[in-house]
Amino acid sequence: MKFELQHIDTKTNARAGVITTDHGTIETPIFMPVGTAGSVKAVHQRELAEDIKAQIILGNTYHLYLRPGLNILEQAGGLHRFNGWTRPILTDSGGFQVFSLSENRKLKEEGAHFRSHIDGSKHLFTPENVVDIQRIIGADIMMAFDECTPGTADYDYAKKSMELTHRWLERGLRRFSDSDPKYGYLQAFFPIVQGCVYPDLRRQSAEFIAKQNQAGNAIGGLAVGEPTEKMYEMIEVVNEILPKDRPRYLMGVGTPANILEAIERGVDMFDCVMPTRNGRNGMIFTSNGIMNMKNEKWKSDFSPLDAAGTSYVDSFYSKAYVRHLFVSQEFLAMQIASIHNLAFYLNLVKEARQHIMEGDFANWKARMVKQTMQRL
């Protein structure tokens, strides 16, 4: 994987670049739709590529490991061949999912023991076998196995957790170096910065991660319960240290405003389930604000879903019709909303990139943050 930093905004730390992988190029800043189990919910691959214009999608190690399982994925020739997506894929290591199973997992030095949420069966994730699993999945970018601490963790716990993540990283890197890709193309390995909301821990972790000299780096353990301003502060602390010539990936974040604020602070890559999860519940993100499509106010509004939208659904369907679908609990409602929201997110980061290149990002961003947070 290669990264070319093309431009840095003169008034902020916002960056524009290009990531090159064996499955194609990615223009940054970029938003990556989440395809947890090998599928972006309610959206098929043709829409992702042609209408939404996704350049890279995510898969999740935990979910793919449990179902369909490694045997099926290896027989298929990896996730790209299994789901038909020909562009780049990034896989989360499963650390966040194991963190979410707090009642059904035990963390030890060797790794994380957990029970499947599907059938209760027992499993063990280690820094080594998580690399092996991601080799079989065949992602272009794989993540190190880490412990994701809650945003409310006390200092001692956060420190011990960070140190465990660092020891696991060293083991994962050894396995990554000693193993080869399975399907004839190269894979990159991203370490993850932890340290909760404590600046000294974040600096220590960022310094440790930077020394590993990997193709890119991730910032984890944010948007997990801490105040938003703390999240922005930690991004600033970390990005002062992480190398400028490598892409920076903020994991699991967030709202349009969160993304714009993080871009301003030097983040290049994002993912979040919000566009699809909130969309399935009737929340539509637009450049003018947020619409709840179940509200009575849209009942007789026959104007386009989003006159400024870039997807075909925005001009093809009216607000009144989409509201009708949600009130009637039709599956099409969830599909339309998911397609719209993903297209909006991808166009938002595309516009951010254009304004970075043109030199007026700061003014545009300030205006867009206010607009996207309004309730319509």
* 102: pLDDT strictly greater than 90: no
- The CATH number of the domain holding residue 63 is 3.20.20.105
- What confidence tier does 18 reach under pLDDT thresholds 50, 70, 90? very high
pLDDT tens, residue by residue, 115-170? 998 999 999 999 999 999 999 999 999 999 999 888 999 999 999 999 999 999 99
What is the rounded distance in angstroms from the CA atom of residue 2 to the CA atom of residue 22?
10
374, burial (CB in 10 Å: exposed 0-12, middle 13-18, buried 19+): exposed
Q: Is the pLDDT of residue 98 over 80?
A: no
3-class DSSP state for residue 217?
A: strand
Q: What is the mean pLDDT of residues 5-23?
A: 97
Give the SS3 label for residue 201: helix
pLDDT of residue 79: 98
Query: Catalytic residues, which ones?
Result: 92, 271
The answer to whether residues 249 and 339 belong to one domain is no
Residue ending a domain, choose from 249, 272, 295: 272
**If you ran DSSP here, which 8-state letter would residue 94 be given?**
S
Q: What is the pLDDT of residue 368?
A: 98
Same-domain pairing of 347 and 202 = no
Q: Given a cut of 90, is residue 11 above it in pLDDT?
A: yes
Residue that terminates a domain, selected from 272, 291, 321: 272
Query: Are 237 and 110 found together in one domain?
Result: yes
pLDDT value of residue 101: 73
pLDDT of residue 372: 98
Of the candidates 232, 219, 221, the residue with the CA atom closest to the CA atom of residue 264 = 232
- The verdict on 221 and 359 lying in the same domain is no
Nearest 5°: the CA angle 209, 129, 39 is 90
The DSSP H or E segment spanning 115 is strand 112-115
Q: Is the dihedral of CA 202, 101, 115, 274 positive or negative?
A: negative
pLDDT tens digits for 181-234?
Answer: 999 999 999 999 999 999 999 999 999 999 999 999 999 999 999 999 999 999
Domain limits for position 64: 2-272
**Tens digits of residue pLDDT in 255-308:** 999 999 999 999 999 999 999 999 999 999 999 999 999 999 999 999 999 999
Domain identity same for 225 and 301: no
Alpha helix positions (H), the chain? 45-46, 61-66, 70-76, 79-83, 95-100, 127-137, 155-178, 199-211, 228-239, 256-264, 274-280, 312-316, 319-327, 331-358, 361-373
Measured CA to CA, the distance from residue 244 to residue 260 in angstroms comes to 19
My answer on whether 36 and 175 are in the same domain is yes
Query: Do 265 and 302 fall within a single domain?
Result: no
Identify whether residues 252 and 294 lie together within a single domain. Answer: no
Of 248, 272, 296, the position where a domain reaches its end is 272
Q: Binning pLDDT at 50, 70 and 90, where does residue 96 land? A: confident
Q: What is the mean pLDDT of the chain?
A: 96
Residues 150 and 188 in one domain: yes
Q: Are residues 337 and 367 in the same domain?
A: yes
| Contact residues for 65 (Cβ-Cβ < 8 A; gap 6+) | 94, 123, 133
Same domain, 203 and 54: yes
Percentage of the chain lying above the pLDDT 70 cut: 100
- Do residue 261 and residue 290 come from a single domain? no
Known binding-site residues for substrate equal 92-96, 146, 194, 221
pLDDT of residue 190: 98
Give the pLDDT score at 245. 98
The pTM score is 0.97
Q: Is the dihedral of CA 196, 197, 198, 204 positive or negative?
A: positive
Number of structural domains found in the chain:
2
